[in-house]
Amino acid sequence: MIEDATEFELALLEHFLFIADFSDSQGVKESLQEGSLDSSTSVERDGKDDPKFSRSSKESDFNGKNFDDRFTSQRLVKDKGHPLLYEAYSGLIRKHPNVYLIVAGSGPWTNRYKDLGRQVLVLGSMDPSMLRAFYNAIDIFVNPTLRPQGLDLTLMEAMMSEKPLLASRFPRIKGTIVVDDEFGFMFSPNVESLLEAVEAVVNEGKETLARRGKACREYANSMFTARKMALAYERLFLCIKKDTFCSYP
């Protein structure tokens, strides 16, 4: 409880609220501000090291395959939206035989994806050392989650790898990550909306997706790096020491 916090802990809470990717940071902030905290509370997002997630032409073709468009997703469970992605992609490949889905991860939907045939490549669980090659192998990153969530680090990684996003339209994703239409596409969490979105991706073509990816990387580097988070922590402690550091632009 806030009432039981020490003086130092209250000083921390007075100006900063640091939330990792698993938390609904804005919701927590609003809840705290309704209590004993004032509007000076700020939310600092989690960060990622960007050197590991970068564009590399040497790793642009995964397994040596040449695809028209390549999509990817995450952990293969229901709440991550794989029933939607499976149905939408099943409809897409009937009209676009050169569009491939690369799925990283493992889970109950692995065999279902494999049933779609040669246009789906299921990689299983991946070692972190393979992430750079993986992100560089795709044209757009898909996050079809069925539930609201905190700040998804995979979306940040994809943006740092210069990839546009195709994501469910939830407030946290729209308000923090896909804040500009240039960064990708959003859809309501249903099959019809997702199919419409992937059709738009295919019709747009690689060159436009590459331009979107560059915009994504520029935004991610300005917002989501571990350096930015570290600087925010530094400012926090300076603020505790001296009030002049507690004013924010």
Neighbours of 238 (CB within 10 A): 12
- What are 23-48's pLDDT values in tens digits? 344 444 444 444 444 454 444 455 55
Q: How far apart are CA 153 and CA 35, in angstroms?
A: 29
Summarize pLDDT for 55-101 with one digit per residue, the tens. Answer: 555 444 444 444 455 565 556 888 889 999 999 999 999 999 889 99
pLDDT greater than 70 at residue 195: yes
Same domain assignment for residues 111 and 147: yes
* In-domain check, residue 131: yes
Instruction: Say how many residues make up the chain.
Output: 249
Residues 198 and 154 in one domain: yes
Question: Which two structure tokens, joined as six digits, stand for 41?
Answer: 């509370």
Same domain, 102 and 208: yes
Domain that holds residue 240: 2-47+226-246
Q: In Å, how far are 95, 172, 233 from 15, measured between CA atoms?
A: 54, 22, 11
Mean pLDDT, range 219-231, rounded to an integer = 86
Structural domain tally of the chain?
A: 2
User: pLDDT band at residue 240, thresholds of 50, 70 and 90?
Assistant: confident
| CB-based contact 25:151 (threshold 8 Å) | yes
The token duo for 200 is: 């738009």
* Position 207 pLDDT exceeds 70: yes
What CA–CA distance (Å, rounded) separates 162 from 9? Answer: 39
What's residue 132's pLDDT? 85
**Averaged pLDDT, 1-20:** 40
52 occurs within a structural domain: no
